[in-house]
Amino acid sequence: MAQKKKPKEGLSAGDNSVVIGGSVQGSNIVMGNNNTVSNNSINIAPLFDEIYRGLDIRIDLKADKKQDVKEELKEIQAALEESQPDENFITRRFRNLQRMAPDMVDVVFETLKNPISGVATVIQKIAKKMADEAGLEQ
């Protein structure tokens, strides 16, 4: 007499099926054949490098104030790099930044939204300051 096959224990799925157990938050799930997977996360480190360089060349902030601003920016950067940024935490950091260096907030927002726009914002601020200074000298 032929022996019957024992059913496999656990989950069983048919051809081309996907079985997921546990949390897949932050994971890429790829189905099908001949797939290409790319990482859609944005590397914001170069943007912050540009912001830090802009901060370093400012002459209107004292060294200790620059350091405080840089620390706030580092905390903002770290929070934005998390898989689920804490909006309240980031808002508090920007409020602190607003108190220390109000014009930096505009530059940071514009740089993060659109790097070219951030550069344009810096140029506009410099042009306005130079125009104001030229007006005072006459």
| Per-residue pLDDT tens digits of the chain, which is 138 residues long | 566 666 556 666 666 666 666 666 656 566 666 666 554 456 888 899 999 998 998 888 899 999 999 999 999 999 888 888 888 899 999 999 999 998 888 888 888 887 666 556 766 776 777 678 777 654
**Which residue matches tokens 């934005």?**
80
* Cα(76)–Cα(125) distance, integer angstroms: 23
The model carries a pTM of 0.58
Q: What share of the chain is helix, strand, coil (3-state, %, to 5)?
A: 55, 0, 45
Distance CA 37, CA 16 (A): 18
Residue 76 has a pLDDT of 92
| Cα gap 120→13, rounded to integer Å | 56
